[in-house]
């Protein structure tokens, strides 16, 4: 995991013959913008845009049985350890799966043991239901696990980690919801907060070269806040759709991003689509992208008031960043660095970024300046296409 990237507070784009710049300080007419987008879609295709594989309400195969966790012994009184009762309810489902109903209550969970879901199962929580982790000293825990499964739905309620009362000081892997090597997972209308590591982690199981990634994962109307490392992290994954969701106030241990897509050497992250979502108030970057990330689309989202970059790429390729609002971030709005290549940045409003420099120099962030503050394109990158972006006004 890359922890930091040393950069100046105001980053000047470096000239590169592989970059075509046609950005404008004024909004382009609608017909012109549509023409640009049509051109982009008709040019070298992006894997994530090739077909409409994404949907905010995917179809799953869930079993017909229903079990209420209260009937399995869960109390939801904020004191009793309900972990065994949840697991007993899940294990009591037939092989075809079913629905676990969680009524209102504060259910205390031993996250070092976890609630382990099964295939073809729905965890249906009332909006007033909370799964709360008991304080522990472990560097690694999971409140809810979905490992090596298919057709899983998690909805409603809240998952609350133990970061406020955590006993230990080491590690960064206390997860609220951990999805590994699973396919067709639908998470919606869920709030996750206060985890020792990430609110939600989606990734693979296995060694580099043989790891099994997660696939066809949908997060819709999810909120992940005040987690210690990330709101959401992706390891190796194929086809993940994040829509109508919010990732805010990550703080505590680096990278502290809203969303971090970082498969490292374990595998590849392919076709992640982030749409109509918000990344704000994070102590690190709003969104950061690393090596082995391809086919990313970030569209119609708001990435605002993060302490680091709005979007930082240090190696992604074949990506499209379109029609977003990227503003008032501490460093550059979008920083395209290192080996990043074949990225299209079009139709975005990217303005009034690099706020850390302005605050440090006692200046308004709306001060006109000739220095670059919104877009950084390093000379080590290639195939970066810019069009119809609205940047901060300059004198």
Residue-wise pLDDT for 142-178, tens only, equals 999 999 999 999 999 999 999 999 999 999 999 999 9
Q: What share of the chain is helix, strand, coil (3-state, %, to 5)?
A: 10, 45, 50
Q: What is the pLDDT of residue 325?
A: 98
**Residue 184, helix vs strand vs coil:** strand
- To 10 degrees, the CA torsion angle through 296, 302, 304, 308? -10
Interacting residues of 35 by C-beta distance below 8 A, sequence separation 6+: none
Residue entry with tokens 């560097």: 139
Measure the CA–CA gap between 316 and 304, rounded to whole angstroms.
Answer: 21
- To 10 degrees, the CA torsion angle through 199, 304, 308, 7? 140
Parse the chain into domains and list their residue ranges.
Answer: 1-46+295-395, 61-249+260-265
CB 82 within 8 A of CB 69: yes
pLDDT at residue 47 greater than cutoff 80: no
Average pLDDT of the segment spanning 63-83: 98
The continuous run of DSSP H or E covering 69 comes out as none
Tokens representing 15 are 């000239």
Q: What is the pLDDT of residue 102?
A: 98
pLDDT at residue 126 greater than cutoff 50: yes
Interacting residues of 92 by C-beta distance below 8 A, sequence separation 6+: 67, 72
Q: How far is the CA of 270 from the CAs of 118, 355, 362, in angstroms? A: 25, 32, 42
Q: How far is the CA of 158 from the CAs of 140, 190, 314, in angstroms? A: 20, 6, 33
pLDDT at residue 292 greater than cutoff 90: yes
Nearest to 121 by CA among 185, 75, 69: 185
pLDDT in tens, 223-238: 999 999 999 999 999 9
Q: What is the pLDDT of residue 267?
A: 97
**Residue 347, helix vs strand vs coil:** coil
Q: What is the pLDDT of residue 20?
A: 35
Measure the CA–CA gap between 212 and 180, rounded to whole angstroms.
Answer: 8
Q: What is the pLDDT of residue 369?
A: 87
Q: What is the pLDDT of residue 36?
A: 44
CB 301 within 8 A of CB 278: yes
Tokens representing 194 are 């206060």
Nearest to 340 by CA among 299, 298, 382: 382
pLDDT at residue 24 greater than cutoff 50: no
The least confident of 40-44, 165-169, 282-286, 357-361 is 40-44
Domain 61-249+260-265 -> CATH class: mainly beta
Nearest to 264 by CA among 196, 211, 312: 211
Measure the CA–CA gap between 48 and 386, rounded to whole angstroms.
Answer: 19
Measure the CA–CA gap between 250 and 12, rounded to whole angstroms.
Answer: 27
Q: What percent of the chain has pLDDT over 90?
A: 85
Residue entry with tokens 């549509």: 34
Q: What is the pLDDT of residue 370?
A: 85
Mean pLDDT of the chain, nearest integer:
90
Average pLDDT of the segment spanning 333-362: 97
Its sign, for the CA torsion 291, 153, 142, 117, is: negative
The continuous run of DSSP H or E covering 287 comes out as strand 287-289
Average pLDDT of the segment spanning 67-75: 98
Beta bridge partners of 355: none
Measure the CA–CA gap between 216 and 277, rounded to whole angstroms.
Answer: 18
Average pLDDT of the segment spanning 111-134: 98
Measure the CA–CA gap between 311 and 300, rounded to whole angstroms.
Answer: 14
Q: What is the pLDDT of residue 385?
A: 98
CB 253 within 8 A of CB 221: no
Measure the CA–CA gap between 132 and 148, rounded to whole angstroms.
Answer: 24
User: Residue 224, Cβ neighbours under 10 Å: how many?
Assistant: 28
Q: What is the pLDDT of residue 48?
A: 41
Measure the CA–CA gap between 111 and 208, rounded to whole angstroms.
Answer: 27
Its sign, for the CA torsion 250, 251, 257, 259, is: negative
Q: What is the pLDDT of residue 395?
A: 87
Tokens representing 262 are 């970082």
């Amino acid at each position: 995991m890359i922890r930091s990237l040393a950069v100046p507070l105001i980053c000047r784009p470096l000239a590169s013959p592989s970059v075509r710049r046609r950005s404008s300080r004024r909004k382009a007419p609608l017909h012109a913008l549509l023409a640009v987008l049509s051109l982009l879609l008709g040019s070298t295709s992006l894997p994530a845009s090739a077909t409409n594989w994404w949907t905010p309400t995917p179809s799953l195969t869930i079993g017909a049985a229903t079990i209420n966790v209260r009937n399995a012994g869960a109390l939801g009184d904020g004191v009793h350890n309900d972990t065994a009762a949840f697991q007993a309810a899940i294990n009591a489902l037939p092989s075809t799966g079913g629905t676990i109903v969680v009524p209102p209550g504060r259910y205390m969970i031993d996250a070092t043991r976890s609630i382990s879901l099964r295939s073809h199962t729905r965890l249906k929580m009332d909006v007033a239901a909370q799964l709360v982790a008991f304080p522990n000293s472990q560097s690694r825990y999971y409140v809810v696990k979905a490992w090596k499964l298919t057709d899983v739905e998690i909805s409603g309620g809240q998952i609350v980690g133990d970061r406020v009362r955590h006993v230990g000081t080491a590690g960064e892997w206390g997860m609220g919801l951990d999805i590994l090597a699973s396919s067709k997972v639908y998470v919606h209308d869920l709030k996750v907060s206060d985890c020792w590591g990430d609110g939600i982690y989606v990734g693979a199981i296995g060694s580099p070269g043989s790891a099994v990634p997660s696939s066809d994962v949908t997060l819709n109307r999810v909120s992940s806040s005040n987690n210690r490392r990330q709101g959401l992290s992706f390891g190796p994954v194929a086809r993940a759709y994040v829509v109508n969701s919010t990732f805010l106030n990550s703080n505590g241990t680096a990278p502290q991003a809203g969303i971090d897509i970082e498969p490292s050497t374990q595998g590849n992250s392919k076709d992640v689509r982030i749409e109509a979502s918000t990344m704000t108030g994070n102590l690190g970057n709003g969104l950061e992208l690393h090596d082995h990330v391809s086919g990313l689309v970030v569209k119609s989202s708001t990435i605002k008031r993060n302490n680091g970059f709005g979007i930082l790429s240090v190696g992604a390729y074949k990506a499209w960043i379109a029609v977003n609002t990227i503003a008032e971030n501490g460093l550059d709005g979008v920083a395209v660095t290192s080996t990043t290549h074949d990225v299209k940045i079009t139709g975005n409003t990217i303005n009034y970024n690099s706020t850390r420099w302005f605050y440090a120099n006692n200046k308004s962030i709306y001060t006109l300046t000739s220095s670059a503050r919104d877009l950084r394109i390093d000379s080590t990158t290639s195939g970066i296409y810019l069009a119809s972006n609205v940047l901060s006004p300059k004198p």
